Amino acid sequence: MLKGTRTLHIDYSKCIGCETCEAVCKFLHDTPRITMTRTTEGIMIPLYCKHCDKAACMGVCSRGALNRDRDGAVVLQPLLCRGCETRNCVMACPYAAFFATCSGVAVAKCDLCASRRDIGLGPACAEMCPCGAILYVDRDEVEALESEESRKAHKRVMDHIRPPRCSR
């Protein structure tokens, strides 16, 4: 079903931590769905939703508010999410890509710029990244895009959001 659909992919080794992705997302969606964080080593990195093939968030949402749309994006239905206090999705996401809000809808998440896709545009963060670190690519191509450098950089990010000592 997901064959031929596209997703976001960030090559953290190309990212310079300039915050443009977050800025553009915030401009368009108010609560940014791609968010900068500073690791303990002082690297600025964007956390984002990978629209996983097997999305843990979809499994834990008790209200069925997380669904896949025609382009394979995992999208949140605010009407179903509204008022939920469990925030199961926030805890289930392995990439820390759910952002708790203080408005009625409990969380904000990336929908690959759904309203832009409707009119034939791609996600705005990928359009504006100065370094070409964010790509909107075919799911099958992601693996081929990885390099030793990008894997190392990705591991640094993962070690920050899932400290190695915690997983023991």
Partner 1 sequence: MNFGFMKAESAPPNGREVAVIGAGPSGLATAGYLACLGYQVQVYDKLPKPGGLMVFGIPSHRIPADRIQRGVRDLERRLGVIFRTNTKICCSAPMHEEEGDHFACDILSLNDLVDNYDAVMICSGSWKSRKLGIQGETLKGVYSGLEFLFPIRAIQYASTNVSVPDVRGKRVAVVGAGHSAVDVVDSAISLGADKVSLLYRRTAKEAPCGSYEIDRMREMGCQWLERCTPVAIHGTDKVEGIEFRNAVSGEQETLPVDVVVGAIGEFPTPPFQKELGLENVRRGEVRWLNMTALDNVFVAGDVLSGPSKIGKAVYSGLRAARSLSNWLDLKAQHRESEYNFDEDKMTR
Distance in Å, CB of 3 to partner 1, minimum = 25
Identity of the residue, 38 or 162, whose beta carbon is nearer to partner 1 in the bound complex:
38
Rounded Cα distance between 101 and 72, Å, is 24
Distance in Å, CB of 59 to partner 1, minimum = 33
Residue 66 is encoded by which pair of tokens? Answer: 């997380």
Q: Which residues bind partner 1 (CB under 8 A)?
A: 16-24, 26-27, 30, 36, 38-44, 119-121, 124, 127-132, 156
Distance in Å, CB of 11 to partner 1, minimum = 12
Contacts of 60 (CB under 8 A, 6+ apart): 88, 89, 91, 92
